Amino acid sequence: MAIDKKLAVRCEHQQPNLGEAALDMAALYRHIVGRNRFLPIPKDEERFVGDGDFRAIGAEFLELFIRYGGLRPEWDVLDFGCGIGRMALPLTQYLDPTARYVGVDVNRRGIQWCKRRISRVYENFAFHFIDYENALYNPGGKKKPWDTEIPFEKGSFDFIFATSVFTHLNRQEAKAFISQLAGLLRPGGRFFATFFLIDEMAVRSMQEGRSRLVFRIQSGMNSTEAEALPSGSAVAFNKSWIEVILAGNGLQMLGEPLRGTWPGLTEGGTYQDLVVAEKPGLDRR
């Protein structure tokens, strides 16, 4: 089986926490799920989680979870905003049967599909609908994150991730959910999330016309939306504001964010920016 050595070498310097073996494992698992024809995928008309190759994006993120997040097969995982199983499906091939995976989302159809197609086969994979309001995905939702907590025991997950979820939340929601998710992590647990992060580099890219997304920029703002897109389609946060919110919730960033390609970068991890942070208390390396 061909392992993507080039990729492992390219990324090596960016995540000093992981050894060579973990890097090879990441590429190996991506290879396995990328080619596994037996994993179900939702029909085109059932998908609501964005464009692109459903299976390839899942495989790409499995690799990022392992390579940058240090995800291990025995860890208990919470997938915040799990959609229609794009990340859960590859994880069925990686997590141990004794590890617990929980996916939560505000979209009922996605949760139903995941229960039917994933939980029936993989008993350690559970999916729950949560009724938070979201203008795009659950406009009739009855809850707000500052009123109602995600219903799991504090300190019960080793790895909590959110792919392309904070990019649809406003500033108050992002702040409240980061605080909740930090509380659900065990000491030594990791938070892995994608964002659109605004800093000098991103502003310059937008001004010079290189960025694939253009956000409305005003001085002193902590969040902003993309121009020419419906509200909630693409929300960006000031990079230093996110750093402050993470630190305020006891989460320590593991290095600088891995910058995405959205601001026109040709080198980068994935489309969105990627943040990995740890709740101190236990050295898992």
Q: 215: which 2 tokens?
A: 């956000």
**Closest to ligand SAM by CB, 124 or 170:** 170
81 is a site residue for ligand SAM (CB under 6 A) = yes
Which positions ≥6 away from 48 have C-beta within 8 Å? 83, 84, 107, 109, 110, 137
Alpha carbons 84 and 123: distance in angstroms, whole number: 17
Which residue among 15, 92, 163, 211 contacts ligand SAM (CB under 6 A)?
A: 163
**Closest to ligand SAM by CB, 16 or 40:** 40
Q: How far is the CB of 140 from ligand SAM (least distance, A)?
A: 13
180 is a site residue for ligand SAM (CB under 6 A) = no
- Cβ atoms 125, 92 nearer than 8 A: yes
State the DSSP string of 160-226.
Answer: EEESSSGGGS-HHHHHHHHHHHHHHEEEEEEEEEEE-EESHHHHHHHHTT--SS-B---TT-SEEEB
Which positions ≥6 away from 51 have C-beta within 8 Å? none
Which residue among 29, 127, 132, 192 contacts ligand SAM (CB under 6 A)?
A: 132
164 is a site residue for ligand SAM (CB under 6 A) = yes
**Only segment of 6-14, 164-172, 201-209, 247-255 that touches ligand SAM (CB under 6 A):** 164-172
Alpha carbons 65 and 34: distance in angstroms, whole number: 15
Which positions ≥6 away from 268 have C-beta within 8 Å? 258, 259, 260, 261
Q: Which of 171, 186, 40, 64 minimizes the C-alpha distance to 115?
A: 40
87 is a site residue for ligand SAM (CB under 6 A) = yes
**Only segment of 28-36, 77-85, 183-191, 210-218 that touches ligand SAM (CB under 6 A):** 77-85
Q: 248: which 2 tokens?
A: 């305020």
90 is a site residue for ligand SAM (CB under 6 A) = no
Which residue among 106, 174, 184, 226 contacts ligand SAM (CB under 6 A)?
A: 106
Q: How far is the CB of 263 from ligand SAM (least distance, A)?
A: 19
Q: How far is the CB of 269 from ligand SAM (least distance, A)?
A: 14
Q: 190: which 2 tokens?
A: 């990791």
260 is a site residue for ligand SAM (CB under 6 A) = no
175 is a site residue for ligand SAM (CB under 6 A) = no
- Cβ atoms 23, 12 nearer than 8 A: yes
**Closest to ligand SAM by CB, 128 or 284:** 128
Judge residue 47's burial from the number of C-beta atoms within 10 Å of its C-beta, 0-12 exposed, 13-18 middle, 19 or more buried: middle
Q: Which residue of this chain has its Cβ atom nearest to ligand SAM in the complex?
A: 83
Q: How far is the CB of 252 from ligand SAM (least distance, A)?
A: 24
Binding residues (CB under 6 A) for ligand SAM: these are 49-50, 80-83, 86-87, 104-107, 110, 130, 132, 134, 137, 163-165, 168
